[in-house]
Amino acid sequence: MKTYYRFKFYLNARHSVTFKGKISNIHPHTWEIAISFGTVASETVNFSEFERELEKYFLNYEGKYLNDLPVFQGVNPTMENIGKIMYKDIKNVVNDKNLYFKRIEISENPTRTYIIEFTRGKTMC
């Protein structure tokens, strides 16, 4: 039997994206971000500390216009690119806690979700 945990966070931010040379209007989203991870050992994990670290990380984006942030300079802030950047950053937080990162899901609305999954030593994205 495989078991793991899933935390959900909500992030309110604005962005505009470029597709086929056309820039969209600046618009807001409440992104839902679900992070799944398992424990390396069978010991109890202090989830409160871990959750606080992730909440602190998301404050870097909360209420911001993503296009203005240094991390998105030269990067189109699509849902997919946001997910990839967050995956790399959050992976370090998760792996420092004797946990392993299984997947991140980022939704910009209830019907559209982008998923990055870590499988067999590789990131699947």
User: Average pLDDT, whole number, for the chain?
Assistant: 88
Return the pLDDT at 65: 98
Cβ–Cβ under 8 Å, residues 106 and 86: yes
Q: How far is residue 88's CA from residue 35's CA, in Å, rounded to a whole number?
A: 12
Which pLDDT band holds residue 120 (cuts at 50, 70, 90)? low
What range does the domain containing 107 cover? Answer: 5-124
Structure tokens at 43: 């010991």
21/4 Cα distance (integer angstroms): 41
Residue, of 52 and 66, whose pLDDT is higher: 66
Query: Using CA atoms, how far apart are residues 58 and 2, in angstroms rounded to an integer?
Result: 28
pLDDT of residue 42: 66
Q: Residue 125: pLDDT above 70?
A: no
Q: List the CATH number of the domain containing 113.
A: 3.30.479.10
Domains held by the chain: number: 1
Report CA dihedral (78, 122, 88, 6) to the nearest 10 degrees: 90
Predicted local confidence at residue 72, as pLDDT: 97
pLDDT tens-digit readout, 24-49: 999 999 999 999 988 877 666 777 88
Q: What is the DSSP letter of 92?
A: H
Question: Tell me, what DSSP letter sits at residue 68?
Answer: G
